[in-house]
């Protein structure tokens, strides 16, 4: 019984894909920005699916709560990460972190509440023309101080 279940799992393994399912700040408390070396760690959680799925890039943007009128708001563009180059485009279930440089000059309203949006461009499934392009936006609300 155990061997047959293991064999079934191994046979299905090549058909499973992973996708980014959520993001969270990689710290607790307030974010302290300086002008040269501060980075905001973003923790990416991944899950698996039976559909062909590949995350391609993540674009990060910054906005205030007043400017973030919907979940498709990116805000001021800050940083892009190529997930293919990082070898994170098709991972199994788990976690990984990207350090996003946010300098004090990026905090255009000074200290206060901001929303960092991680916009993940992905391809999934297949239609008659090839892979289907999609975008998922993951907002993170945080408080920032400036040094």
Domain ranges of the chain: 16-146
Q: Lowest-confidence range among 12-16, 38-42, 65-69?
A: 12-16
Q: What is the pLDDT of residues 39-48, one digit of tens each?
A: 999 999 987 7
Q: How far apart are CA 109 and CA 116, in angstroms?
A: 14
Q: How far apart are CA 103 and CA 37, in angstroms?
A: 7
Q: How far apart are CA 11 and CA 2, in angstroms?
A: 14
13 by Cβ neighbours in 10 Å (0-12 / 13-18 / 19+) ranks as exposed
Q: How far apart are CA 73 and CA 137, in angstroms?
A: 8
Region 16-146: CATH code: 2.60.40.2550
Instruction: Find out whether 104 and 34 touch, Cβ atoms under 8 Å.
Output: yes
User: Token match 């805000």: residue?
Assistant: 75
Strand order in the sheet with 94-101: 17-25, 39-49, 94-101
Q: Which two tokens stand for residue 6?
A: 């293991």
Q: How far apart are CA 16 and CA 14, in angstroms?
A: 6
Q: What is the pLDDT of residues 83-141, one digit of tens each?
A: 878 776 666 678 889 999 999 999 999 999 999 999 988 887 777 777 788 889 999 99
As a whole number of Å, the end-to-end CA separation of the chain is 61
Q: Percentage of residues in the chain with pLDDT exceeding 70?
A: 81
What is the pLDDT of the chain when averaged over all its residues?
Answer: 82
Q: How far apart are CA 76 and CA 106, in angstroms?
A: 9
Q: Which two tokens stand for residue 31?
A: 């974010």
């Amino acid at each position: 019984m155990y061997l047959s279940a293991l064999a079934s799992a191994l046979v299905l393994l090549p058909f499973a894909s992973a996708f980014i399912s959520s993001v969270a700040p990689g710290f607790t408390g307030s974010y302290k920005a300086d002008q040269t070396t501060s980075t905001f760690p973003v923790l990416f959680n991944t899950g698996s699916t039976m559909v062909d799925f590949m995350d391609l890039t993540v674009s990060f943007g910054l906005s205030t709560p007043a400017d973030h009128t919907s979940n498709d708001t990116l805000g001021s563009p800050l940083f892009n990460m190529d997930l293919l180059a990082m070898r994170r485009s098709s991972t199994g279930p788990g976690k990984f972190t990207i350090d996003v440089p946010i300098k004090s000059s990026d905090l255009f309203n000074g200290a206060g509440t901001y929303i960092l949006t991680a916009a993940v461009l992905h391809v999934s499934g297949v239609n008659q023309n090839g892979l289907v392009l999609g975008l998922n936006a993951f907002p993170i609300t945080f408080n920032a101080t400036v040094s």
